Amino acid sequence: MLRIAIIQFPGLNTEYETRREINKTGMRGEFFRWNEDFKKLAAYDGYVIGGGFAYEDRGRAGIIASLEPIMKELKAQSEKGKPVLGICNGAQILVEAGLIPGADGNKLAMALARNKRIKDEEIIGTGYYNTWVHLKCTAPKQSCMFTWNIPEGEILRAPIAHGEGRFTTDIAELFPLLQSKGQIALRYCDRHGVITQDFPINPNGAVFNTAAICNPDGNVMAVMPHLERDFVSSAKLFTSMRDALLARKAGGLQKRSRHLHVKPVNSWPIKLFQPKEKSFKLFISLIITDNEADTFEMTIKNLGWPKISLKRKTLVELEYTGKPDFLTLSRKLIQSGVLLNTNKELATVEMPKRRLGLVEKSQEQFTFQLLIREKPDFVGMAKLATIQKRLKFSEITGVHIGTLWEIHIPTKSKNVAEQELKRLVGTNLFFNPHRQEAYLC
């Protein structure tokens, strides 16, 4: 009997329904916790990472799980041709790990970014969304192990439930290349199979209406819709996985090019932060335990930096017009609750013309400030609309929100500190350049 490991990360919540659907096809789904001896994975025939919120989506969906040691073994098993499926949060994990789209060296080549619902070229909504969608299979026959039994052009139906499901990239040639190579396995369409970019046909703004992508070999796939929640689509998905595995064991699996050549986006050097000419800042920090900072620090330690420590704040940059009374305006903004929750957060105000320090040095360590912002900044846009329309603060003309990380590196050498920072940035823990921008402050 084919054995399929269902990987359990903290926060995933679809493992039981996934196991049920796998077992229906005659395979045997078995739970495998992320902190078990990952060498035992070699005994399995295939792998599934299901949906949920691994590590509460701290930082961004999928990033913490993607850096766990177990993912190295999954990469090794995928290179042997074994199937690896990521559904929803699992898809986000595979993308952050570089297994999708499978660029040479598993380089980070795309992102699953915050949903963007677009109609008539206008953004009409962002963030979490759940509904039923139609999907067209666009993978060539038997080119992908998870669409093995699904004819090209067939239409499936399944639910979506995600906040960061928009396939996107900063590599201009990537999606045309994926389409030409048959790696875009499923695309959002209407019930007749017509593909249009507008919402609701495209529910999240994904480039090319992409709902699922496989790697060049066709044995790894990231799919955002929950195919396992529709019994018809689920049967097609997992019988495809089963029959492709049997074909592989029989030596009948079609081989494809193992290479996807794309020029990666460089995360380094990071540009310096330049405040807007007429702006002031709010620094917002938690007065309760910062679980996100603790999780990032834990991840850094697991990656081999046991002595580096972190602090996290939210940096809100507010553009203004005229000559407002900054103290009064700041007080009213803070009291309104629009920018922070005063029950658990504390805000400090920085007046115009003051600048953040690039590097702070003590006798024993260097401290770097790294500002991360989403592109585009949907949260900032929404806050601006509330400030102008509900609070009637017409003097505020722009709101830009980001996460400000203080990274404390224990060394007396500036050169060593900068090299360590570069290595940290190279893990992609702090930001994904395909959906975020980073600045040194």
Residues 39 and 86 in one domain: yes
Residue-wise pLDDT tens digits, 80-100: 999 999 999 999 999 999 999
Cα–Cα distances in Å, from 193 out to 147, 165, 186?
A: 17, 21, 11
Domain assignment of residue 372, given as a range:
271-440
Cα–Cα distances in Å, from 323 out to 205, 296, 351, 388?
A: 39, 40, 12, 17
Residues 203 and 343 in one domain: no
Q: 3-8 and 396-409: which strand pairing? A: unpaired
Residue 323 falls within a domain, yes or no? yes
Residues 324 and 425 in one domain: yes
pTM: 0.95
Residue-wise pLDDT tens digits, 299-358: 999 999 999 999 999 999 999 999 988 889 999 999 999 999 999 999 999 876 544 444
Residues 287 and 230 in one domain: no
**Own/partner long-range contacts of 297-302 (Cβ < 8 Å, ≥24 apart):** 299/64, 299/67, 299/429, 300/424, 300/429, 302/67, 302/68, 302/69
Can 134 be counted among the known catalytic residues? no
Residue-wise pLDDT tens digits, 252-296: 665 566 689 998 888 888 999 999 999 999 999 999 999 999 999
Task: For residues 319 and 397, give the distance between their C-alpha atoms in angstroms, rounded to a whole number.
Answer: 5
Domains held by the chain: number: 2
Residues 198 and 275 in one domain: no
Task: For residues 101 and 97, give the distance between their C-alpha atoms in angstroms, rounded to a whole number.
Answer: 10
Token duo for residue 221: 């796939």
Question: Which of 203, 219, 249 is a domain's end point?
Answer: 249
Residues 124 and 66 in one domain: yes
Question: Which of 181, 216, 249 is a domain's end point?
Answer: 249
**Confidence (pLDDT) at 250:** 86
Q: Which of the residues 88, 144, 189, 441 is marked catalytic?
A: 88
Residues 333 and 420 in one domain: yes
Q: Which residues contact 159 (CB under 8 A, 6 or more apart)?
A: 130, 131, 132, 133, 225, 226, 229, 230
Q: Which of the residues 15, 134, 189, 226 is marked catalytic?
A: 226
**Confidence (pLDDT) at 360:** 63
Question: Which of 195, 214, 249 is a domain's end point?
Answer: 249
Residue 258 falls within a domain, yes or no? no
Residue 14 falls within a domain, yes or no? yes
Residue 259 falls within a domain, yes or no? no
Can 88 be counted among the known catalytic residues? yes
CB 115 within 8 A of CB 123: no
Best CA proximity match to 347, nearest among 289, 404, 284 = 284
Q: If you search the block for the tokens 């493992």, which residue do you land on?
A: 15
Residue 212 falls within a domain, yes or no? yes
- What's at 169, amino acid-wise? T
Judge if the upstream peptide bond of residue 159 is cis by omega within 30 degrees of 0.
no
Residues 38 and 139 in one domain: yes
Best CA proximity match to 368, nearest among 395, 403, 394, 404 = 404
User: How does the average pLDDT of the chain come out, rounded?
Assistant: 94
Q: What CATH number is attached to the domain comprising 34?
A: 3.40.50.880
**Confidence (pLDDT) at 356:** 46
CB 31 within 8 A of CB 15: yes
Residues 312 and 413 in one domain: yes
Residue 343 falls within a domain, yes or no? yes
CB 84 within 8 A of CB 72: no
Residues 180 and 145 in one domain: yes
Q: If you search the block for the tokens 């690896």, which residue do you land on?
A: 84
**Weakest mean pLDDT among 232-241, 362-371, 393-402:** 362-371
Residue 263 falls within a domain, yes or no? no
Residue 117 falls within a domain, yes or no? yes
Task: For residues 20 and 431, give the distance between their C-alpha atoms in angstroms, rounded to a whole number.
Answer: 36
Q: If you search the block for the tokens 């500190």, which residue do you land on?
A: 417
Residues 212 and 71 in one domain: yes
Range list of β-strands (E), 68-140: 84-87, 111-113, 116-119, 122-126, 129-137
pLDDT band at residue 359 under the 50/70/90 scheme = low
Can 144 be counted among the known catalytic residues? no
**Weakest mean pLDDT among 148-152, 289-293, 347-351, 428-432:** 347-351
Task: For residues 272 and 152, give the distance between their C-alpha atoms in angstroms, rounded to a whole number.
Answer: 48
Judge if the upstream peptide bond of residue 200 is cis by omega within 30 degrees of 0.
yes
Q: 345-350 and 279-286: which strand pairing? A: antiparallel
Residues 55 and 25 in one domain: yes
Q: Which DSSP helix (H) or strand (E) runs through 221?
A: strand 220-223
Q: Which residues contact 12 (CB under 8 A, 6 or more apart)?
A: 49, 50, 51, 52, 53, 54, 89, 90
Best CA proximity match to 353, nearest among 278, 287, 418, 428 = 278
